[in-house]
Chains A and B, each alone.
Chain A
Amino acid sequence: MARDFGAVAEQLRRSTVQVRDGGSGVIWTSSGMIVTNAHVARSSRHTVELWDCRVIQATTAKRDRRRDLALLRADIVDAPAVRIRDSSTLRAGEIALAVGNPWGFVGALSTGMIHGYGPLRGLGRQNWVQADVRLAPGNSGGPLADAEGRVVGINTMIAGGLALAVPANAVASFIAEANDRVSLGVTLRPVQPGLLILEIAPDSPAARASLLPGDILTGLSLDQLHDAIERSEVLMLRFLRGDRRVREVAIRLRSPEMAKPGPSSTRAPVI
């Protein structure tokens, strides 16, 4: 039994990487796709250290802050990819293993049990793999696996001592999603007159429409904006810039070159 723990842990370690200054990551495909948390991959370029001590550069291919997932692309030949399990088949009581770099301690193994699978109050409607496994900062982005070493989730946070992992199925749909999940490319903060733009992602629809940080979108709430982005091709937005004059801008959300992204297209973090 102890040998099996060791073997499964060793196999997981080979597919777990260290995302420098952030946390852990999982080699998802042998072509070098690495999955980690969005809160680990904050920038567009990363230094990633593999289990065999190779240090490589990776770029952020995709990032979804809402689901706290990021996809990195790295040049690794024959990368040791993990095996993945359909996370909806998980049962409470199964053995669970987590590998990561808690407190910078490389390749640490935590073991425990699957506590349950489902939504958690206060964290939206999405499902979580909830595990009775002790995690620490640095485990973020690392794999949560079953007794066979198949990855069932990406360790993301700790709530009341409980380890919460984004289910492998959610990761799969995040990767499968068309690369141009429609987004405006802004970071917003609700303020008194409307929604203040804090950041604009380069090369995003918002940037192309010449919106600037400091502009204040008026006349709609965050939820209404989300709905409008989902529905419309062209978004009409009113905003304030430095004075009382209300300006108006038309933003094309689905531009022709975005509809068919090339295989090497890299896009910056967006909401």
Chain B
Amino acid sequence: MPNNLTQLSDELAAVVKRAGQSVVTIYAGGRVPSSGVHWKPGAIVTAEHSLRRDEEIKVGLPDGRVVPADLAGRDPGSDLAVLKIDAGSMPVIAAGGEAHTGNIVVAVGRHRDIGVCAALGMVSVIGPAWNTWRGGRVDQFLRLDVTLYPGCSGAAIVNAGGEALGVATSALSRIAPVAVPRTTVDRVCGELISRGYISRGYLGVGMQPVRLPEELGGGGLIVLSVEKNSPASKAGLVIGDILTAFDGRPVRDTRDVQNVLSGENIGKTLNAAILRGGQRVDLPVTVGEKGK
């Protein structure tokens, strides 16, 4: 008695089978091994929080082999980590297009005992770029109405066509699992492979939001501390300065500054618009690299 439902069921099972060819099990010391996605040739992306150790990590492939993996790097901020393996003939997961609220999605993981495993759901919220509580920047907010069962952190989130929209994690939101979207995974994956870590810009100032009269822009960030020999002190910022705009963008909150301090701005000289003693002053600041 085939019906529309059996057709959908067959299609979803085929989607899971195909996507599952690019989904692996990660043995990295956790009580339950997590899942990972073959994202770029030889590079497995998984959930950073599920890696309990940096060495002796093993990856269970769809063909049943278990191969050693090298940790390329971790980005706790976006809860992503990249492992390098000899992938053999394992295909890379197909890249998905744009996600929309209400799209049907499937979380495809790989369980150590039962192999490929799946959970059905929907894109429940799509939002703009956001900062995670772990301090990372994610290009799109993709909340999922999907249950991530034990072992499914790091699972691929695929659309009804079997193309990856992102990587699933339960560590970035308490309310529901989110997908780290494809663009963020691409960026983090590339950076972790080439550099081993995610670089962050650095100024060396402590700041706090303050209100200002409307004619001065309504608000800004007052400088409370300046570290010695930091990019900020070299640029001449002093305690009491009020930053109103950075790189031409008005700033009201420290997050606004952090958003400018992404990796690609390191070494660039950006304009800091400040109020000092009631006077507008423009200071060129060369962004440093955090931890260097």
Contacts and interface: CB of A to CB of B under 8 A. Distances in A.
Contacts of A148: 1-3, 5-6
A130 to B, nearest CB: 7
A202 interface: no
Contacts of A5: 5
Interface in B86-113: 106, 108, 111, 113
B16 A92 contact: yes
A147 B6 contact: yes
Given A113-B106, A132-B147, A92 B115 contact: yes
Contacts of A120: 113
A241 to B, nearest CB: 45
Contacts of A115: 117-119, 149
A4 B117 contact: no
B13 A116 contact: no
Given A113-B106, A147-B8, A118 B115 contact: yes
A147 B9 contact: yes
B12 interface: yes
Contacts of B9: 94-95, 146-147
Q: Is the interface of B mostly helix, strand, loop or mixed?
A: mixed
A91 B13 contact: yes
A99 to B, nearest CB: 15
Q: Give the one of B13, B106, B115 with max A CB within 10 A.
A: B13
B58 interface: no
A4 B6 CA distance: 9
Contacts of A7: 3
B163 to A, nearest CB: 15
B116 interface: yes
Interface residues of A, number: 29
B113 A93 contact: no
Q: Give the one of B106, B113, B117 with max A CB within 10 A.
A: B117
Given A113-B118, A116-B118, A93 B8 contact: no
Interface string B1-24: 111111011101111110010000
A112 B4 CA distance: 16
Contacts of A114: 13, 118
A149 B5 CA distance: 10
Q: Give the one of A112, A118, A132, A148 with max B CB within 10 A.
A: A132
Contacts of B118: 92-93, 113-116, 132
13 contacts: A7-B3, A92-B17, A92-B115, A94-B13, A95-B120, A112-B119, A113-B118, A114-B13, A116-B117, A118-B114, A147-B9, A148-B6, A160-B150
Given A95-B6, A95-B120, 20 more contacts: A8-B5, A91-B13, A92-B13, A92-B117, A93-B12, A93-B15, A93-B106, A94-B13, A95-B8, A95-B9, A114-B13, A116-B117, A117-B114, A132-B119, A132-B120, A132-B149, A147-B3, A160-B150, A161-B147, A161-B149
Interface of B: 1-6, 8-10, 12-17, 20, 106, 108, 111, 113-120, 147, 149-150
Interface of A: 1, 4-5, 7-8, 91-95, 112-121, 130, 132, 146-149, 160-162
